[in-house]
Amino acid sequence: MVMCIELPMKPSTDAFSQSKRILAQIIVLLAVLLALFVFAALFGPGFEPGSSDLYWGIGIGVSLFAIVCTFGWLYWRNPKVLVVSEDGIDIPMTFKRPLRWDEIHRVRRVQVRGSFFSRRDWLIIDPSPGVLAPLRLPVWRRLELALQSRQGVRIPLHGLEEDPERVVQSIERYRPVILENS
């Protein structure tokens, strides 16, 4: 006699990362801006050694360098920007805790035709009435209510490393996704 023991299914968690291509573009853009700034500061005609321009220039240069380093760190670290699990949807850089499935009214996918940029693909999570997404950044409550009730929580699918269809399939295991085109 052979007995089969059925093991409980392990809950699946899908984690999605920021697109490295977009982070690389931001780093290149900021590095070019920093190089132009340094070139203008060193060889520009309006530089006066006796004025406070030097201190402002050093401050702005250090700020731009810090921003380039921040995006470089994000590029190297490749953080998870969206986690879908049985607990709910989590955006670790934005939410204190996952937004539970019972706190979500609906999930929409909006595809916007682009003119200057390529097509944009957004995932919009509308919290249930009376529920606010647990944001990390303290925001004035009325502003938070106004933004989340009108616009929901927006996730750019075009900015993720993974295929948007896979992200939508991951969410559809727990909640249907409404497709809207504009």
Give the pLDDT confidence score for residue 7 in this predicted structure: 45
Q: How far apart are CA 5 and CA 166, in angstroms?
A: 32
Q: What is the pTM of this model?
A: 0.65
Of 155, 95, 99, the C-alpha closest to 127 is: 99
Rounded Cα distance between 179 and 182, Å, is 10
User: Beta-strand (E) ranges in the chain?
Assistant: 14-17, 80-85, 88-90, 104-112, 120-127, 153-156, 177-181
More confident call, 100 vs 24: 100
Cα separation of 91 and 86, whole Å? 14
| For residue 53, pLDDT beyond 70 | no
Average pLDDT on 133-157 reads 72
- Each residue of 151-174: pLDDT tens digit? 778 888 887 888 888 988 988 998
pLDDT at 147: 66
